[in-house]
Structure 1
Amino acid sequence: MVDVTEQTDETRARIVSTADALYYARGINAVGMDEVRTAAGVSLKRLYAEFPGKEQLVLAVLASRHRQWEDGLARTAAGLDDPRQRLLAVFDFLEEWFRDDTFRGCGFVNAFGELGATSPAVADAARAHKQSFQDHVARLAVEAGADASLGAHLALLAEGAQTTAAISGRADAAGQARKAAEVLVDAALGPR
């Protein structure tokens, strides 16, 4: 017997994944709910049962992206014992992401740019994601023996690398940001 809850979770995940791919490739405003429904292979009734409006779907996409982001950062730092290397692994994660053929910049920045002025919930989700990232990098900086302010500096480098890579189409922005981060880390902790 098929578990109805499992089916619902799978359908919901498929809708979110489909919407994410469409929104990220073409923009949120360019993709209607009917297109998401068709691409996800669900009825309009089912789509609206899961997501009563587009804003709820966008928020689910952003929540999924946030989990993917956190998982990617954790995966890249896994197995690194050196706190400095864990701190710099942020930029290794970015480089891997920038090399993905589907890379189109930060989904949170994109969503904020499209909907931030008209959707306080989307603006809040983008702000929360960015704050979470800054907090993560600040924790890594403290673990490495630096002041938390180093985390803010490195997070700004990472944000700039994302924007540069998205606009220029060059994955090497992550490597350039990593080299700048190494200078900041050495200044804060002393060179190795």
Structure 2
Amino acid sequence: MDDEEARTRLLDTAEELFYAEGIQAVGMDRIRAGSGVPLKRLYRIFPAKEALVTAYLERRDRRWMTSLREAVTTPAAAADPVAAVFGWLADWFSEPDFRGCAFLNAFGELSAAHAGVLDVVRRHKAELRALLADLAGPADPAREDLADQLLILVEGATVVAALDPGPEPAHLAREMARRLLSAR
């Protein structure tokens, strides 16, 4: 196994365990055992647990944002891309292993004491906000305010769904977004 395969195995295992059980509940030895990567190689690739957590979140961000972007740029979403955001969320909230926002979960567990993790969480939320601003349209003078409001709806729905998984929080947030947009 080369370093690239080892890195992929480590990140796959970390993502599965960190998201399901929490970052602090999972030690590096469990990551090693689950991935089949020798401990020496694990620490050569990720010298500290924070480096592994940061890499896990960065990879999850790329995959999560790519999937959401694809959902809002389909021909079917063109007529109402904001509704497409909440449709995508409804599908995500209905996944059997849904456990809330990995980024907020990580921040909640590790707080601001872990600068690398905090940086990834902030970048993820800023990227999500920018996508929501783009959906408002470049010519909309209220796009920044709208992006903030939509972000709160997305985040609120995600937190509610983490407590009671299923599509309903996304459907409610979509209806709130429609009211918000129609009031403009």
With normalisation by structure 2, the TM-score equals: 0.92
Distance 1:84 1:120 in 2: 40
Residue 164 of structure 1 deviates from its aligned partner by: 0.2
Distance 2:109 2:116 in 1: 13
Distance 2:53 2:60 in 1: 10
Q: Identify the residue that residue 157 of structure 1 maps to in structure 2.
A: 153
Q: Identify the residue that residue 75 of structure 1 maps to in structure 2.
A: 70
AA matched with 1:85: D
Q: Identify the residue that residue 164 of structure 2 maps to in structure 1.
A: 168
Structure 1 window deviating more from structure 2 (146-155 vs 110-119): it is: 146-155
- Please point out which of 128, 131, 137 is paired with 1:136: 131
Map 1:14-163; keep pairs closer than 5 Å: 14-80=9-75, 83=78, 85-143=80-138, 145=140, 147-148=142-143, 149-163=145-159
Residue 106 of structure 1 deviates from its aligned partner by: 0.3
Distance 1:19 1:171 in 2: 27
Distance 2:111 2:131 in 1: 23
Aligned Cα root-mean-square deviation (Å): 1.8
Percent identity, aligned pairs only?
42
Q: Contact 1:22/1:31 (CA < 8 Å) preserved in 2?
A: yes
CA change 1:14–1:181 in 2 (3 A) is same
Aligned length: 183
Secondary structure of the structure 1 residue equivalent to 2:112 = coil
AA matched with 1:61: Y
Deviations 1:98-139 (CA, angstroms, capped at 9, x unpaired): 011111000000000111232122112111111111111011
Residue 83 of structure 1 deviates from its aligned partner by: 4.8
Secondary structure of the structure 2 residue equivalent to 1:170 = coil
Secondary structure of the structure 2 residue equivalent to 1:30 = coil
Secondary structure of the structure 1 residue equivalent to 2:113 = coil
Consecutive unaligned residues of structure 1, counting only runs of 5 or more, are: none
Distance 2:142 2:79 in 1: 13
Consecutive unaligned residues of structure 2, counting only runs of 5 or more, are: none
AA matched with 1:24: Y
Residue 11 of structure 1 deviates from its aligned partner by: 2.1
Secondary structure of the structure 2 residue equivalent to 1:117 = helix
Residue 82 of structure 1 deviates from its aligned partner by: 6.0
